[in-house]
Amino acid sequence: MQVSLEATSGLERRLTITVPAEQVEAKVTERLKDTAKKVRLDGFRPGKVPLSVVKRRFGKSTRQEVVGDVMQSSFIEAIQKESLRPAGMPTVEPVKMEPGEDFEFIATFEVYPELALKGYEGITIEKPSADVTDADVEQMLETLRNQNREWQTVEREAKDGDQLIIDFVGRKDGEEFEGGKGEDFKLELGSGQMIEGFESSLVGSKAGEEKVINVTFPEDYQAESLAGQPAEFTIQVKEVAEAVLPELNDEFFAKFGVADGGLDAFKAEVRKNMERELQHAIKNKVKNQVMDGLLAENEVDVPKALLDDEINRMRQQAAQQIFGGENQVDPAKLPAELFQDRALKRVKLGLVVAEVVKQHDITVDDERVKALVEDIASAYEHPEQVVSWYYSNERQMSEVRSIVLEDQVVDTVLDTAQVTVKECSYEEAIKPAQESEAEKEQQAETDVAS
């Protein structure tokens, strides 16, 4: 077998592979002989069909099968010989395949980039340091009460924090527009749920009143036909209700799985959960900085095949998460550009992290895997059942091992990166430094749904 390698552009490679005719013909003959032993044809006893008859009947299809097998096996042999790492499947083009002649074909494909990682000294990390104080716990108690509030109808003017039930109709230039109408709509004043001016205009209103207000849609409003445009809303206020917060009693504590111990036990449970959240937030902030630093320090050429695979995977996830069920949309109909940037970053990170693992010979620490599973399970009422479920689910365990491996990569980088510790409050520590990946995903899902 003869192999000619050509670097066409960037990561693309072209292999021209020539297989001697006698090698192909020998395989064709061997396949035909095997067929002759098994085939049943009228006028011949089983296993006694002449080879010439078998060749006449099955020669063309047999040659096509053999050629396919030869292309596959010789391609694998060629990439091993040339020490190539294909990224994705090759595009194969037969050049010569006439009987009796050497078989020649061209395989075009991309390869994984060769990465020469820079040192980690240029990566700067700011690690938050914070504690959960008694004041933080008290604030969390109020937050939990507010999340479990109930609404009680009142006969007074509405104020910020009240919930209104309204009907409304929006008009632009005197004409109703799509999405500008609602009935029995629940609106909490001051929540920022509606465009600027809508909620503030309802402060002071009472049940049974009708109001006509004029507002202007923001310039970046998602509906282009309304962006920056004035509109008029006719609003019928049907009910005004105020929030009633639950008492901190045993009934309230039981909702969160605290059956005994009263307020002190509940505070202890809340503190424990806050401390877990704090550690996770600090860990994620450090991890994100490490990953961003690795990308900033290392240029990565991305094979188009890997990028396309990641985009298609994200398309499928989006289609399932947003549409799901019987109304699931064809993922291929979702525009690739919605996922392009995030997919590109994910692929780059995957390549860089894999190279760190390779260069430092990092293997997954089983003890850290066990600790992570137990940490995840500790947030549930019956942690032992969660642990058992994880260890019986290979897919979930694979995800846990991937997380642990990434954590080990982070630790490796932190050994030589420039790390400074920043003292801060609990609220500052858990607040995302910038738009989180989850928020980006949520925005992308909104874009997809739109």
Residue ranges per structural domain of the chain: 2-110, 124-133+259-449, 150-244
**pLDDT over 70 (residue 325):** no
Phi, psi for residue 95 in degrees, rounded to 5: -110, -50
pLDDT tens-digit readout, 97-131: 888 889 999 999 999 999 888 889 999 999 999 99
**pLDDT over 70 (residue 444):** no
Which string of DSSP letters, residue by residue, matches 273-289?
HHHHHHHHHHHHHHHHH
CA distance 390 to 105: 48
Please check whether the domain covering 150-244 is classified as CATH 3.10.50.40. yes
Residue of 345 and 322 predicted with greater confidence = 345
Q: Provide the CATH number for the domain formed by 2-110 in this structure.
A: 3.30.70.1050
pLDDT of residue 437: 46
- Within 319-365, where are the H helices? 340-359
pLDDT of residue 328: 66
pLDDT of residue 446: 39
What separation in angstroms does the CA of 295 have from each of 31, 219, 346, 349? 52, 34, 10, 7
What is the CB-side half-sphere exposure of residue 366 using CA atoms within 13 A? Answer: 1
Residues belonging to the chain: 450
CA distance 11 to 446: 35
CATH of 124-133+259-449, one of 3.20.20.140, 3.30.420.10, 3.40.50.1110, 1.10.3120.10: 1.10.3120.10
> pTM to 2 decimals?
0.75
